[in-house]
Amino acid sequence: MISEGPLSQLPPRAIFLQFMILVDFVRILGSPAIIEDKHLSRSLQDACQRLTDAVNMIIGWQLEQPTWLKRTLVVKQDTGSMKSMDLSPTVDFSTTPGSLLASESNSIKGSTTSLAGNSAPRYDVQLNSNSQAPSTVGGFEKKSSSNLRSSLKDTAKRDPSFSTQALFLLSENLAELVDSISKSEDKERLLPSITNVWNNTLPFLKAKHTRNARFFLAGSQFLASMSTFNYMRSVWRKSVVDLIGDTGFFKMDQHALKQWLTIVDHLTTQDKSSFKEILSATTAANTGISGIMSNKESDYDHRASVLKRLAFVILSAERDQFQTIMPEIQERLADNLRLNQIPVVHTQVFLCFRVLLLRSKPSNLMSIWPSMISELMSVLMQMEHDLSATQSEDGRCASDQTMQLYLSTCKLLETLCTLPRGHLPQYQMCSWGFVSAITPNARDLFTPHANKIHELLLQKYDPLTDSERSMSSASLTGIKTLTEFRELRPFFHALANQHRNLPGDNSDLLRDSHVLCGNLSLKAAIAHLEHGLYVDFAEHWQL
């Protein structure tokens, strides 16, 4: 029935239902039974190809060819035809299922139900004469790709929410569906359809603006699902390396960022040369921007950009995955630390330090500890000096970049304090220089840096009020930008009062104060700190 139906005359909702029926049928029947029956496997491949092309046609409704000289597709900029609200679903793709048959939780049966009834209103989009697919698109079954440009006409009848749903639908199911209905040698037969979908998805991944956020998330999920399988690698590899090297790569929200962690992980795991290629692509992109009029500022921005991508690649990997190239990573960090008083670069070095602490065993970081601790102490001393010297009412220092360096430094200190006690023996040997776990004494000859900064903040600002204590978090993981020193008061208040964090003594403690005492398990501590990294990596969308 599916392989013979007139898809070109069906509305989008009917096409989605047929696609979900096919996926449910494959899940119920089972991949082994399908692959053993060559005739059934070939029939399902034909049905999959036709339905994929039909869904892909709906995705293409929001694309246009800006000039007839090039076959380049871009996202339509005219939002006047977008008459309906985007009600497409948000899918949690934190784990990529290995197969449609892996577990019932990965089943798409629920999605089928949501398309058929009202149990899931996110799919409940009313069809009318302005949202149905036009019936004038003839010959689609034979030449779907050749009709793409003609399908981009008459945009008033094409609801953008259907295009978003179509892309989410394929991102959830297509890769696993293809894997379930064909043997390894037969998968090449379906690559043209997958390539066509990728060609329609790529423009959405290049359009970094707010109104494209839903399409970008759906496209990122589709790419993450494709990257799971090696045979699809040739379709997306080159374009992905170019996207990562683009200067606006990090302009995305945290949901899409997690998809890209999966993508980069698969990219670097399947191809060991991809690590250096990503950094080289970043270099090429920044060189093109700076051009002939290169100067020190552009060089510093380029260094910071490369370091941020280095940290992102390491974060995407398994623990100690890059241990073999740790000397190269250390040399790159040391080379950037040799630059004196360059906050924009040192901020990203500290970001790399934080990622390495989460993705490396402590024994493999022995060579990095001296530079990490010395740089941490140096910036904290600089912060103490600025706090003592700054007289302005807004509590700012000379530059925004320096304030970001201070925030990055404090987040590195938070990372060291949050990881379980005993996990970092190197830090335990020198932790007394930063935080004191005992009651401070006025006769002490040395005051830890956290206590000293806390005292300076008390001198500069009023103590935290009861209302501020009840509403403020001691953790900095949710703060992306530091505008004034006042925002650091809860953090240093918690560090300076760690001696009070004892059983039965909860007075004067802030929310999340216990996190900074190393009381969490390693798994919980890493999850907490990773959230802070997501905040730092994700940049604002373009309006």
Residue 537 covered by a domain: no
Please give the angle made by the CA atoms of 243, 235 and 252, to the nearest 5 degrees.
30
Which one, of 518, 488, 489, 513, lies nearest residue 501 by Cα?
513
Residue 154 has pLDDT above 70, yes or no: no
Contact assessment for residue 333 and residue 368, using Cβ atoms and an 8 Å cutoff: yes
State mean pLDDT over 163-180.
95
Please state whether the predicted TM-score (pTM) of the whole model is above 0.85: no
Q: Does residue 269 share a domain with residue 222?
A: no
Residue 119 has pLDDT above 50, yes or no: no
- Give CA–CA dist 420/335, Å, rounded: 30
Dihedral sign, Cα of residue 395, residue 397, residue 400, residue 401: negative
Domain span including residue 341: 236-367
Nearest 10 degrees: CA dihedral of 274, 280, 286, 289?
Answer: -100
Residue 132 covered by a domain: no
- Give CA–CA dist 457/22, Å, rounded: 64
6 or 49: which leads in pLDDT: 49
Residue 379 structure tokens: 């910036």
Show which of 337, 367, 397 is a domain's final residue: 367
Q: Which helix (H) or strand (E) holds 74?
A: strand 74-75
- Give CA–CA dist 216/212, Å, rounded: 6
Predicted local distance difference test score (pLDDT) of residue 72: 84
326 or 439: which leads in pLDDT: 326
Residue 446 covered by a domain: yes
203 or 279: which leads in pLDDT: 203
Report the percent of the chain where pLDDT is more than 90: 56
67 or 396: which leads in pLDDT: 67
Mean pLDDT, the chain, rounded, equals 81
Residue 446 structure tokens: 């040395």
User: Long-range pairs for 363-371 at CB < 8 Å and ≥24 separation?
Assistant: 364/320, 364/323, 364/326, 365/426, 366/426, 367/326, 367/327, 367/330, 368/330, 368/333, 369/426, 371/333, 371/334, 371/337
Q: Does residue 345 share a domain with residue 241?
A: yes
Q: Which helix (H) or strand (E) holds 63?
A: strand 63-64
Predicted local distance difference test score (pLDDT) of residue 32: 93
Residue 135 covered by a domain: no
Classified as helix, coil or strand, 271 is coil
Q: Does residue 410 share a domain with residue 354?
A: no
Give the residue carrying structure tokens 């932790």. 431
Q: Does residue 206 share a domain with residue 92?
A: yes
Q: Does residue 338 share a domain with residue 446?
A: no
Nearest 10 degrees: CA dihedral of 32, 33, 38, 39?
Answer: -150
Question: Position 340: which residue type?
Answer: N
- Give CA–CA dist 535/531, Å, rounded: 6
Q: Does residue 422 share a domain with residue 350?
A: no
Contact assessment for residue 524 and residue 419, using Cβ atoms and an 8 Å cutoff: no
Tens-digit pLDDT profile for residues 461-490 = 888 888 888 888 999 999 999 999 999 999
Predicted local distance difference test score (pLDDT) of residue 220: 97
Contact assessment for residue 58 and residue 201, using Cβ atoms and an 8 Å cutoff: no
Contact assessment for residue 162 and residue 125, using Cβ atoms and an 8 Å cutoff: yes
Classified as helix, coil or strand, 495 is helix
- Give CA–CA dist 530/355, Å, rounded: 8
Residue 55 has pLDDT above 90, yes or no: yes
Residue 473: phi and psi, rounded to 5, are -105, 140
Residue 535 covered by a domain: no
Q: Does residue 186 share a domain with residue 305?
A: no
- Give CA–CA dist 105/75, Å, rounded: 34
Q: Does residue 355 share a domain with residue 395?
A: no
Report the percent of the chain where pLDDT is more than 70: 77
Residue 527 has pLDDT above 80, yes or no: yes
Which one, of 211, 199, 168, lies nearest residue 81 by Cα?
211
- Give CA–CA dist 278/359, Å, rounded: 19
Question: Position 34: which residue type?
Answer: I
Of the candidate ranges 227-231, 345-349, 393-397, the one whose mean pLDDT is the lowest: 393-397
Q: Does residue 289 share a domain with residue 243?
A: yes
Show which of 340, 367, 394 is a domain's final residue: 367
State mean pLDDT over 107-136.
36
Residue 393 covered by a domain: yes
Q: Does residue 416 share a domain with residue 353?
A: no
Residue 401 structure tokens: 């970049």
Show which of 339, 367, 395 is a domain's final residue: 367
Contact assessment for residue 462 and residue 431, using Cβ atoms and an 8 Å cutoff: no
State mean pLDDT over 421-446.
83
Which one, of 489, 527, 530, lies nearest residue 510 by Cα?
489
State mean pLDDT over 271-295.
66
* 507 burial level (CB within 10 Å; 0-12, 13-18, 19+): exposed
- Give 497's pLDDT tier (boundaries 50, 70, 90): confident
Predicted local distance difference test score (pLDDT) of residue 128: 36
Residue 94 has pLDDT above 80, yes or no: no
Q: Does residue 476 share a domain with residue 353?
A: no
Residue 206 structure tokens: 């290049």
Side-chain-side CA neighbours of 177 within 13 Å: the count stands at 28
Q: Does residue 253 share a domain with residue 322?
A: yes
Residue 533 covered by a domain: no
- Give 139's pLDDT tier (boundaries 50, 70, 90): very low
Contact assessment for residue 115 and residue 13, using Cβ atoms and an 8 Å cutoff: yes
Fill in the DSSP letter of residue 84: S
Tens-digit pLDDT profile for residues 300-345 = 999 999 999 999 999 999 999 998 889 999 999 999 999 888 999 9
State mean pLDDT over 85-102.
41
190 or 119: which leads in pLDDT: 190
Total number of domains in the chain: 3
Residue 19 covered by a domain: yes
* 382 burial level (CB within 10 Å; 0-12, 13-18, 19+): middle
Classified as helix, coil or strand, 110 is helix
